[in-house]
Amino acid sequence: MAPIIFYFFAVIALSSAVLVISCRNPVHSVLALIATFFSVAGLFVLLGAEFLAMLMMIVYVGAVAVLFLFVVMMLDIDFVELRVGFSRYLPAGIIFGAVLVFELGIMLGDWTFSDSFARNMTSPIPTDVTNTIALSKVIYTKYIYLFQLAGLILFVAMIGAIVLTFRPNSNVKRQNVVEQMQRDGASSVKVVDIKPGQGL
């Protein structure tokens, strides 16, 4: 039964990944991306990595994909205008794609597995600790520097995205904390005596 479930999730994941880059409607692309995340989460469950499966469901499906969907629906982007110069850049894209495929072919042609590859692939999942603890022992000990480097790259990417999308606007009212702290009760509060029968 396990191979059938594996091929089921694998086919859905590959098909959804192709739909992500081939759909003309960006909303359909985001929905296909969500289906891809669900399928990958199922594959993680088959591997015994329940923590990664829940991480894929909660973080990627529940936050990232939904955020993409909201951004696409709220920005009202004119995708017809974005595709105007597609044919102009198509030859350069084909050349770069061919070079990338050629480099990958050279790399895979000379690829050799180490002697410990089969032993590592068939190593049993530890039963004395949970999946989360086993994963954290590997990430925060053996791959701690790579983990910190990945976090630094994501942090720089977040700052770059904020800088690129920031648009200064002089009409926006901003908070002046120093001016607020210097105000006293006499200048900030006005007591009005309203007599009965009168409105504001």
* Distance of alpha carbon 46 from alpha carbon 175, whole angstroms: 52
Three-state secondary-structure class, residue 89: helix
Q: Which two tokens stand for residue 113?
A: 């597995």
What global pTM score does this model have?
0.53
Residue with the two structure tokens 């880059």: 21
Q: What is the pLDDT of residues 55-96, one digit of tens each?
A: 888 887 777 777 777 777 666 666 666 666 667 777 888 898
- Domain locations in the chain as residue ranges: 1-76, 125-166
Of the CATH numbers 1.10.275.10, 1.20.120.1200, 3.40.50.450, 3.50.50.60, which one belongs to the domain with range 1-76?
Answer: 1.20.120.1200
Please provide the average confidence, as pLDDT, over all residues in the chain. 79
Q: What are phi and psi of 190, to 5 degrees?
A: -120, 120
What is the model's pLDDT at position 139?
A: 83
Inter-residue contact 49 to 135 (CB < 8 Å): yes
Inter-residue contact 53 to 41 (CB < 8 Å): yes
Inter-residue contact 26 to 74 (CB < 8 Å): no
DSSP class of residue 190? -
Inter-residue contact 97 to 51 (CB < 8 Å): no
Q: What is the pLDDT of residues 124-140, one digit of tens each?
A: 666 777 777 877 888 88
Q: What are phi and psi of 173, to 5 degrees?
A: -80, 125
* Distance of alpha carbon 56 from alpha carbon 79, whole angstroms: 29
Inter-residue contact 61 to 16 (CB < 8 Å): no
